[in-house]
Structure 1
Amino acid sequence: MNFFKRILGKKSKQLDYDQIADLLDGGSVSHVAGLPVNSQTALQVSTVLACVKAIADGCATPDLHVYREDSAGRRQKATGIPEYRLLARRPNEWQTSFEWRRQMTIHAALTGTGLSIKVRGDDRRVRELIPVQPGQWSVTRTSRYELVYRCWDEFGLIGEFAPDDVFLLNGVQWDWVTTLDAVKLARSAIGLAMATEQSQTAMHENGLRTSGAYSVEGNLNKEQHERLSQWLRDKGGVRNTGVPLVLDRAAKWVSTAISGVDAQHVETRRLQIEEICRFYGVFPIMVGHSDKAATFASSETFFSAHVKNTLAPWHEAWMQRLDETLLDGNGALFTEFDTRYLLAGSMADRSQWARTMAETGIYTRNEIRDEEGKDPLPGLDEPLTPMNMSTNKKEGGNDTKKS
């Protein structure tokens, strides 16, 4: 208690999440170039926000379905169970499935883990999933393989929960409990991007004029010095850009700083975009950054690679967590993201593929309709057989031949 009194004064007060993080990190570790870098300030960097949004939207936009596998090994939507509506429509009283999944993914992408409290009904089945803000929950090891999750909010303690009473979405894990905080790992890259942006903002605030020295002949007393300093401040800034500066007493302006071009602000900001994207595993083109070598054809390839290389691991993390900790584990129920629209080609390519698959009998016409998200039609469940590929069975045997 004496330690906190020395920091906060005679009367102690409750520390917020950022203050606690500063204390745990040693105070100055979370600062880069004099700027605080945490999950809140990092989101003010457009590249971080774009990367996190690209991942979160990729996990929230696709429809999430719960399927049941029947005795024949075929899947069908398990619309009759409460978990289907919980995950596909409304996980809690205030959020839709889209909003909840996006919030949980943002928490996991920024801080390493997203946590929601399971609210169970009388039958012990999960009825609601209540998300908890980062910094408002903690995990404690009570023994080698036992954990307790403690959650609170601005009104006080919510409760202590066993691992089975919370739903977790983990990012990259260091061990089976601890995850890697992306903001802390990318602190230097994010901090440099923030410092570069503030530096360039200050240049525009000063009318794109660098700092320098105002030199006059003779000595200035204190009053003259303060009056001249105030006069220079009044004559500076964007609003006075282009206004002539009248000097007397053989005054001279000597610049002491380099220009924005010499500082390579554009090159530095481009590099920081690529560096932050590298940390998050997001292709720069997904955040609106591309070089001159990118073409329309290569952009389409990047979009497809984004689904396979960036979103696929997050989708798998979602599905396995939902299957094992929310549904029946090794039972017949499982979840799946509908990502067909993300990987769909052009209309011409899809129509050519559908015609080839139907005419060669590889797909039934109803299977192709299902790929396009359409309901089946009567009489389209049998595969077509091309006339030059028909087969005749020999009498008394199983051999076939082409007619």
Structure 2
Amino acid sequence: MSFFGKLFGRKAAALTYDQVADLIDGTGGSRFAGATVTAKTALQVSTVLACVKVIADGCATPKLHVYREDSAGRRQKAANIPEYRLLARRPNEWQTSLEWRRQMTIHAALTGTGLSIKVRGDNRRVRELIPVQPGSWTVTRTSRYELLYRCWDEFGLIGEFSPDDVFLLNGIQWDWTQSLNAIALARSAIGLAMVTEQSQAAMHENGLRPSGTYSVEGSLNDEQHGRLTKWIKAQAGARNAGTPMVLDRAAKWMSTAISGVDAQHVETRRLQIEEICRIYGVFPIMVGHSDKSATFASSEAFFAAHVKHTLAPWHEAWTQRIDEMLLDGSGPLFAEFDTRYMTEGSMVARSQWARTMAEMGIYTRNEIRDEEGKDPLPGLDEPLTPMNMTSGQQKGKTDETAADA
């Protein structure tokens, strides 16, 4: 028997890696309002799941391209480098680009940081990116400006890595070594949402019958009290809702609990949806919650604002990390999300915009084709010039040509 077993008089139970991680790195969160708020339990709250999912999908569904900028400042897809396929198609043996980006974003949105281990080839270029679960890695300062990352899984220690050997996606940071844990910061709002759902579920489980006092005339001995308590529990529950209760000995039922209406469950749950959305910076309409004042026109404005105010910071966090930590840093390579499908208007609005931009000479026709995701065509690289909008210099040349004639 181990030391702890001798100390407590029983055999000590082995802890799982998740339990150890909850104890040592803070991803386990804490208790609030009687509920344990962790990254896993928080995902059981529908609003948290919806907020995290809408952010993760917004970073996973747009196509991720790697471009190379030439000497003239024009960009072209760098499809001939291994990093292009790594990021756009298959970052590791088991996941697609969408699955890996979604998982990393979920880790960052919930716990503050998503981490993947870089697997390098013989030429030191990154061949794979292996994600590590939150709680299965730690970061330690070995000196003032040096860090060491230690990763493990259910089979044991994976290894110790330098910052150059891991890829990080950070959320909001207070310290440059670690990000703020969103679940720990939002535990009050998430915990209240959890206990509100649990209390309402308990009411439905009890057939919406509040607790109360069952009183009879005379005194009860232990056996009678036990039988009566067992009988009352058998009559309760949703399955017995509406069943009449036959009482004897002048029994009376006195309710001691407030109803669901008095407890304002609907108002509380609506407020918690808005509060959790506020924490994640997600518009409530994006998680399927809207009030009666929302119209189709306002919904379209909310969708556009979601891309600008919610997804844009995450996209910038992704691309800057990729540029500096996976590509060549200050070189000509850079990554970019293709979010045109998120911001494009109706077919009528797009056709009017394309025609105006082409006729005014602001965009070339091939640039407009590029905006629509089409390949360029020969002869469409020169901007059009409207006949009634020539410059003064061009007009003078035209007059001189007409005089010579």
Query: Which residue in 2 is equivalent to 1:105?
Result: 105
Counterpart Cα distance in 2 of 1:316 and 1:195: 36
* TM superposition shift of 1:376: 1.5
Alpha-carbon distance, 1:106 to partner: 0.2
Distance 1:30 1:317 in 2: 28
Q: TM-score, structure 2 length as denominator?
A: 0.93
**Partner Cα separation in structure 2 for residue 168 and residue 350 of structure 1:** 38
Answer yes or no: is the 8 Å Cα contact 2:362–2:383 preserved in 1.
Answer: yes
> Helix, strand or coil for the counterpart of 1:117?
strand
For residue 14 of structure 1, what is the aligned residue in structure 2?
15
Matches within 5 A, 1:288-327: 288-327=288-327
What is the aligned partner in structure 1 of residue 224 from structure 2?
224
- Residue 103 of structure 1 aligns to which amino acid in structure 2? Q
In the alignment, what sits opposite 2:51?
51
CA RMSD of aligned residues (A): 2.2
Q: 2: CA distance between counterparts of 1:3 and 1:20?
A: 20
Gap change, CA 1:7 and 1:184, over 3 Å in 2 = farther
Looking at structure 1, the residues matched to 38 and 81 of structure 2 have their Cα atoms a distance apart, in angstroms, of: 41
3-state SS of the aligned residue for 2:176?
coil
1:160 counterpart SS class: strand
Shift of 1:20: 5.0
Q: Which runs of 4+ in 1 moved over 6 A?
A: 1-8
Matches within 5 A, 1:105-144: 105-144=105-144
CA deviations 1:284-322 (Å, max 9, x no partner) are: 111111111111111111111111111111000000000
Matched, 1:165 2:165: yes
Q: Which residue of 1 aligns with 2:280?
A: 280
The alignment partner of 2:174 has SS state of coil
1:389: how far off? Answer: 2.1
1:207–1:241 contact (8 Å) kept in structure 2: yes
Structural mapping, 1:170-209, within 5 Å: 170-209=170-209
| Cα offset, 1:394, TM superposition | 4.0
Q: Is residue 236 of structure 1 aligned with residue 236 of structure 2?
A: yes
Q: Does 1:84 align with 2:84?
A: yes
2:142 is the alignment partner of 1:148? no
SS of the residue 2:380 aligns to: coil
**Secondary structure, counterpart of 1:294 in structure 2:** coil
What is the alpha-carbon distance in structure 1 between the residues aligned to residue 21 and residue 119 of structure 2?
A: 29
CA distance in 2, matches of 1:299, 1:38: 32
C-alpha distance in structure 2 between counterparts of 1:112 and 1:318, whole Å: 14
Look up the equivalent residue of 2:252 and give its one-letter code: K
Match of 2:72 in 1: 72
Aligned 8 A contact 2:22 2:135 in 1: no
The letter for the 2-side match of 1:14 is L
Give the total of aligned pairs: 396
Q: Distance in 1 between matches of 2:4 and 2:141?
A: 26
Unpaired runs of 5+ residues, structure 2, are: 401-405
Q: CA deviation at 1:390?
A: 3.7
Equivalent residue number for residue 388 of structure 1: 388
Shift of 1:19: 5.3
Deviation string 1:35-77 (CA, Å, 9 cap, x unpaired) is 2110000000000000000110000010000000001110000
Q: What residue ranges of structure 1 are gaps of 5+ in the alignment?
A: 399-403
Deviates more, 1:117-126 or 1:229-238: 229-238
Contact 1:5 / 1:12 at 8 angstroms: preserved in 2? Answer: no
Contact 2:110–2:182 at 8 Å: present in 1 too?
yes
Deviation at 1:12, TM superposition (A): 5.9
Give the SS at the match of 1:232: helix
Q: Which residue of 2 aligns with 1:257?
A: 257
Letter in 2 for 1:21: D
Kept in 2: contact 1:109–1:182 (CA 8 A): yes
State the AA in 1 paired with 2:22. A
Does the 8 Å contact 2:21/2:136 carry over to 1? no
- Distance across 2 between alignment mates of 1:208 and 1:377: 68
Equivalent position amino acid for 1:321 in 2:
R
Which residue matches 2:403? none
